Amino acid sequence: MCLVSCDISIVVPVYNEEANILPLADEVDQALRHETRSYELVFVDDASTDQTWAKIQQARRQNPRVHGFRHARNCGQSAALWTGLQATTGPIIATLDGDLQNDPADLPKLLAEVEKYDFICGVRTKRQDNFIRRASSCVARKARKLVLGVDFCDTGCAFRVFKRSVLKELFPFNGLHRFLPVLVHGEGATTREIPINHRPRIAGVSKYGLWNRLGRGIFDLFAMAWYQKRRVGNVPFDELPNDDQPPARHVR
């Protein structure tokens, strides 16, 4: 199911975002109009019950850089993200939300930074969400710092740009999308946080409430803490030399 090779793969998991697909495809195209590298925009529709899939097909007719995948049943944002990551081949990957809260105009800024770092995280400095959401992100940040000893400002921000090489540090689970920066950082990838624009949601409704955002995030935190302790890291190892070859050093 792999797509044709291109330089930048933009992965957007969506669920019931019918009104946002076409404007998002346009905004991405606009944002990358001066980009000399090739890109693909990959929507992963997580079995939406509205016209999202039809809109992805329409976007594809308007722009062949648009690709679409559709889950047979609703599996969640992380599962859709994983499907998109597996389906693409670009050496640079960008991810963003499909509700237009992330501003594709920030793409060039993040793409420039990924030349210097492995993983760039967007930070929603002027967040256009209600008080409960902002407060729960604050609590989650403090909990992450306390339990994991890492301090990323905004792991809830899905706008990220990273090198494909960091994918080898990741594995699929429901909740992965919140822990991407923590996992890649744990394996030694270089990370950078960059302020990005954040917009209010205009169309469609949020899919998250207090429990499936903060509650699950905190629950998963303890699994992350366990994994941090038990993970088998990248250990360099030597190979006994063959007769005609010099000793070799590998990194798993």
For Mg ion, the closer of residues 208 and 222 by Cβ is 208
The answer to whether 56 touches 29, Cβ cutoff 8 Å, is no
Q: Which one of the spans 103-111, 184-192, 200-208, 218-226 is the region binding ligand GDP (CB under 6 A)?
A: 200-208
The answer to whether 18 touches 56, Cβ cutoff 8 Å, is no
Q: How many residues bind ligand GDP (CB under 6 A)?
A: 17
CB 50 to ligand GDP: min, Å: 11
Residue of the chain from 32, 80, 161, 180 that contacts ligand GDP (CB under 6 A): 80
Q: Does 206 bind ligand GDP (CB under 6 A)?
A: yes
Which strand (E) or helix (H) includes residue 53? helix 52-62
The DSSP call for residue 22 is H
Query: Strand runs (DSSP E) across 98-190, as ranges?
Result: 119-124, 160-163
* Sheet strands side by side (includes 119-124): 66-70, 39-45, 8-14, 92-95, 160-163, 119-124, 191-196
Binding map of Mg ion across residues 69-108, x = CB under 5 A, - = no contact: ------------------------------x-x-------
Q: Does 14 bind ligand GDP (CB under 6 A)?
A: yes
**Of 223, 63, 215, 77, whose CA–CA distance to 139 is shortest?**
215
Q: Which one of the spans 31-39, 69-77, 180-188, 224-232 is the region binding ligand GDP (CB under 6 A)?
A: 69-77
Contact residues toward ligand GDP (CB under 6 A) are: 13-15, 17, 44, 46, 74, 76-77, 80, 97-99, 101, 206-208
